[in-house]
Amino acid sequence: MEQMEQIYRRTEQPDNIGKRPGKLTVTGVNVLFFIFTVIFLAYQFVAGLIMGTEIYDKIYAFVLANEFIILASVLIYCFIKKINIRETFRFNKVKALPALLILLIAVPASYAASMFNNIVIYLLQFIGDIPNPGIPTPGSIPELLTGILVIAVAPGICEEMMHRGLLLRAYEKRGTYKAVIIVSILFGLFHFDITNLLGPILLGLLIGYYTVRTNSILAGMLAHFLNNAFAEVVQYAAKQPETKTITISGTDLMLSIMYGIIGIICVAGLLYLFRMVTESTAKIVPPISRAGQDVKAVLTHWPIILVIVLYFLMALFYIFTIVLTKYLGI
């Protein structure tokens, strides 16, 4: 009975986890995530005011600045808290066979993620035009290489250090697979884009799974890089002219759903093989509490509450802007 009470106290009070110097705490990383969110949104707002529409002409510089903010936040936190970098971030080698399977899963996983995003975009079309996110379509090999560097390499390193590094390791004290789920949802919220929420959550689940099964953040970085690089290559191969809005027809949606379902089936089969070949490297922490207790503990922590509130405010503003643009032409 005494052991059960200790587990409950650990679950309900995240501040009590890992108070020793150099140890991660759930509270600490949640506060860091909130602070980063505020800085990130403030930077976007100020940059938008200063550059206006010119921001799209300098989108690569804007993206790189975002990634620098992420990496700087992580490194500063690690320095202040004296975090053990190698242990926390799992800088371990990835064996050849798991790496090959991650490569094979990348394409079907991308189609599955696109399906979920496209469903949201298709539904939002009924209330107004969906603005193009502004990522330029590569028109040449040098532009493609630049796009891969900025859109794939930088996020693959910086964003993984935050999510599959600090956040995943801190939340893992609740149980490894629970941590993967929690962090994947935070990864989706982190994009602050209602049209790009479900896809990142799915990809976050896969990336987190790769990381814990290989016990290496390098597997997560590889998967993140492959997903974004594949999107850049597809854009380059399609060579479609850039438009101010995104339009998905009923036929396009049906094709996307078909490819997405096929992708999910392929991913499931390859994940079965991935699980088999990572039995020797996986280090899984068992859960310490029921799922309901975890949901309550996470959703009632003030930094997470504020991040969710900010996300919904941004989503409402996005929808409101779409409606105004459609009906008032502004």
Counting residues of the chain whose pLDDT is more than 70, the rounded percentage is: 90
Distance CA 208, CA 198 (A): 15
CA nearest neighbour of 225 among 159, 135, 141? 159
How many whole angstroms separate alpha carbon 294 and alpha carbon 287?
A: 10
| Alpha helices in the chain, H assignment, sequence order | 2-12, 26-51, 59-81, 85-89, 96-124, 141-147, 154-160, 168-171, 176-190, 198-214, 217-238, 250-277, 291-299, 302-328
285-313 average pLDDT score:
91
Is the model's pLDDT at 21 over the cut of 60?
A: no
Lowest mean pLDDT among 18-22, 165-169, 202-206, 307-311: 18-22
Least confident range from 46-60, 203-217, 302-316: namely 46-60
Q: How far apart are CA 184 and CA 200, in angstroms?
A: 7
Q: What is the pLDDT of the chain when averaged over all its residues?
A: 88
Residue 155 pLDDT > 70: yes
Does residue 125 surpass a pLDDT of 60?
A: yes
| Dihedral sign (CA 81, 87, 88, 92) | positive
Mean pLDDT of 15-26: 55
- pLDDT tier for residue 9 given thresholds of 50, 70 and 90: very low
Average pLDDT estimate for 190-200: 94
Could you report the per-residue pLDDT of 241-286, keeping only the tens digit for each? 777 788 899 999 999 999 999 999 999 999 999 999 999 999 999 9
Q: What is the pLDDT, as a whole number, of residue 61?
A: 86
What residues contact 305, with CB distance under 8 A and at least 6 apart?
A: 299
Q: What is the mean pLDDT of residues 21-28?
A: 79
pLDDT at 3 (0 to 100): 41
Q: Decide if 244 contacts 64 (C-beta within 8 A).
A: no
**CA gap 29, 171 in Å, rounded:** 9
pLDDT at 81 over 60: yes
Alpha-carbon torsion (11, 12, 14, 16), positive or negative: negative
- Do residues 165 and 87 make contact, with C-beta atoms less than 8 angstroms apart? no
pLDDT for 173-186, tens place per residue?
Answer: 889 999 999 999 99
Would you kindly state where each structural domain of the chain is located, as residue ranges? Answer: 2-12+20-328
